[in-house]
Structure 1
Amino acid sequence: MTRVWFITGASKGLGRAFTEAALGAGESVAAAARTVSTLDQLRAEHGDRLLTLPLDVTDRAAVHAAVAKASEHFGCLDVVVNNAGFMATGMVEEFTEELARAQLETNFFGALWVSQAVLPVLRAQRSGHIVQISSIGGIGGFPQSGLYSASKFALEGMSEALAGEAASFGVNVTIVEPGGYWTDLYTTGMVAAEPNEAYAPLRAELAKQFAEGSVDSLPHLAARALRTLVDSDNPPLRLLLGSAVYDIARELTQARLDTWAAWEDTSRAAEDAVAAPAGYGE
């Protein structure tokens, strides 16, 4: 089966790995990115099977135009990968309004605009697969990545609802939560808030933990997993990529279950359903 992919953030990192994997399998790709010149060599190698689209995903009108161009060029869209994003780091108190909004505009609203733009195409086909690239930060919030987690929590909440809405049209939605990969995320893909000296001891402790415990993988492993996902006849709503994030996700989920159980009596005592009081809503 020859598919058509629409991939955002396709010029580097995981997006580049996804693009190369699809092209290597003989499929076609609409590769969207802020800068597409880095894809020139791939265009020379794969010709018309690669359509490059300069795109800032925060521009809703531009997103709709890019999706329309890709759909017209290839005649269909089969796999949509919302990969574009960046990571803003800093303690929650340190974020300016500008940086907080920029984080949400790209990581959440960018994916929302793409999802909205492709749905009419996928609904008409009654087929397709939307893959939302999230993070372990979409499962738990961690010091120094609070706004990044906020963007991914928002993405996951929206995508879970989207999955229920799109299913009746034969469209699948999967939230992919990758672990660490050796991409440019740690170099050009990160922006730091202005540090507050009050958090210096915590920042030093976190840096020590990261140095001692960080193990990343090569991007082609994520691309291989993504192909396994989209080849599935019954793809999951969520897919973790990596042993480290798998273990963290299980620990976070178990901790929530334990907390809910410990406070179950208080939770249940807060509910005693009765009919609407007289005059309610008038």
Structure 2
Amino acid sequence: MPISENRLWFVTGASRGLGRAFAEAALRSGDQVVATVRRADALTDLAYEWGDRLIRRELDVTDRAAVTELVDDVADTVGTPDIVVNNAGYGLVGATEEISEAEARAQFDTNFFGALWVTQAVLPHLRTAGQGRIVQVSSVGAVGAMEFFGLYNATKWALEGFSVALAQEVAPHGIGVHLLELGGFATDWFGRSMRFAEENGAYDELREGIFAAPRYPDLSDANPAEQGEDATDAPPSIAAESLLELLELTDPPLRWVAGPGAKDMVRMALEARRDDYEKDPGFTWPSGSTSTETTA
């Protein structure tokens, strides 16, 4: 069921991009937001506009103890969140052979373990309240996978794996779980926030086919707000409005697909998986399992 008005949101990675858009949408809806950021001076303009309805708190989601301490403090001083949005994350590009141990661990620490630590920290408070929503910001890359994005895809597949189990575990306690599978949005994800592995020449030809160059692009000065007329990425506000739509549904789905071409990408990924399974002569695809498109 839709949760009550005057809700309290807890949004990680809220300083810019999607996280900021989620915070803004919640504030415009009349709700209160605890926005976690990496720098204390982030979101100054929103704080000026919305006053004490926006509460900024510094947080590194990879620090489990810090996450638990902050969530407990928010519950004690502000209230138990109604909506928790695990948004903090970044993209890592590199062929599997190119990824260093440090890069792989850092990617999982933020994209997967960060969401896990926040989820674990909020659950005791949500169970006591007997209600709440946990929104995991996922990707169409959690349904399929693409060359050079394997480690990023892996974090989102892992996020979805535990969240599907989580949804079943916490449903008896009145808690909903949702996976927001997003397509392309005009954020720093494919820009200044993107990280690249060191190139291995064995993959130059493949890289040329993906990035139109044998080397990874330099996105250090990329600005998502200055895209050209042909850009296909949508503004983050579209994702935020789609999330608000999801939260108002009486019987919301576990997975919610949003973004330019996102439904088509999910459909193609699922069709490719089906076709691969059917190469096994002993495997029979479930009869009558026609897919229906989720509105987002």
TM-score by length of 1: 0.90
The aligned residue for residue 261 of structure 2 is: 244
Which one of 190, 194, 197 corresponds to residue 193 of structure 1?
Answer: 197
How do 1:148-163 and structure 2 match up within 5 A? 148-163=152-167
Q: More deviation in 22-31 or 250-259?
A: 250-259
Q: Deviation per CA, 1:103-137, whole angstroms, max 9, x where unpaired?
A: 00000000000000000111111100000001111
> Aligned partners of 2:179, 2:79: CA distance in 1, in Å?
26
The answer to whether residue 79 in structure 2 is matched with residue 75 in structure 1 is yes
> Aligned partners of 1:96, 1:204: CA distance in 2, in Å?
22
Q: 8 Å contact 1:15–1:83 — kept in the other structure?
A: yes
**Matched residue type, 1:256:** R
Gaps of 5+ in 2: 218-229, 285-296
> Aligned partners of 2:269, 2:160: CA distance in 1, in Å?
16
CA positional deviation for 1:258: 2.5
> Aligned partners of 2:80, 2:23: CA distance in 1, in Å?
17
SS for the counterpart of 1:158 is helix
Higher helix share: 1
**Matched residue type, 1:79:** I
**Matched residue type, 1:81:** V
**Matched residue type, 1:175:** L
Q: 8 Å contact 1:11–1:36 — kept in the other structure?
A: no
SS for the counterpart of 1:134 is strand
CA positional deviation for 1:266: 6.4
Change (3 A) 1:3 1:194: same
Change (3 A) 1:266 1:24: closer
Q: Deviation per CA, 1:36-85, whole angstroms, max 9, x where unpaired?
A: 41212211222221111100000001101111122223222100000000
The answer to whether residue 65 in structure 2 is matched with residue 61 in structure 1 is yes
The aligned residue for residue 103 of structure 2 is: 99
> Aligned partners of 2:129, 2:250: CA distance in 1, in Å?
17
Change (3 A) 1:266 1:106: same
Change (3 A) 1:159 1:214: farther
> Aligned partners of 2:161, 2:38: CA distance in 1, in Å?
26
How do 1:18-97 and structure 2 match up within 5 A? 18-97=22-101
Q: 8 Å contact 2:277–2:283 — kept in the other structure?
A: no
The aligned residue for residue 15 of structure 2 is: 11
**Matched residue type, 1:145:** F
> Aligned partners of 2:27, 2:64: CA distance in 1, in Å?
27
**Matched residue type, 1:229:** L
The answer to whether residue 209 in structure 2 is matched with residue 205 in structure 1 is yes
> Aligned partners of 2:183, 2:56: CA distance in 1, in Å?
27
Q: More deviation in 54-63 or 238-247?
A: 238-247
Q: 8 Å contact 1:108–1:152 — kept in the other structure?
A: yes
Which one of 133, 139, 145 corresponds to residue 135 of structure 1?
Answer: 139
SS for the counterpart of 1:256 is helix
The aligned residue for residue 247 of structure 2 is: 230
The answer to whether residue 237 in structure 2 is matched with residue 220 in structure 1 is yes
Q: Deviation per CA, 1:142-175, whole angstroms, max 9, x where unpaired?
A: 1010100111111000111100101010100000
> Aligned partners of 2:170, 2:281: CA distance in 1, in Å?
34
TM-score by length of 2: 0.86
Percent identity, aligned pairs only? 47
Change (3 A) 1:266 1:30: closer
Q: 8 Å contact 1:51–1:70 — kept in the other structure?
A: no
> Aligned partners of 1:29, 1:243: CA distance in 2, in Å?
27
The answer to whether residue 129 in structure 2 is matched with residue 112 in structure 1 is no
Q: 8 Å contact 2:238–2:259 — kept in the other structure?
A: no
Q: 8 Å contact 1:7–1:83 — kept in the other structure?
A: yes
SS for the counterpart of 2:278 is helix
> Aligned partners of 2:253, 2:231: CA distance in 1, in Å?
27
> Aligned partners of 2:79, 2:272: CA distance in 1, in Å?
47
Q: 8 Å contact 1:176–1:241 — kept in the other structure?
A: yes
CA positional deviation for 1:242: 2.2
SS for the counterpart of 1:255 is helix
CA positional deviation for 1:264: 4.2
> Aligned partners of 2:265, 2:192: CA distance in 1, in Å?
26
Aligned positions, number: 267
Q: 8 Å contact 1:181–1:219 — kept in the other structure?
A: yes
How do 1:120-131 and structure 2 match up within 5 A? 120-131=124-135
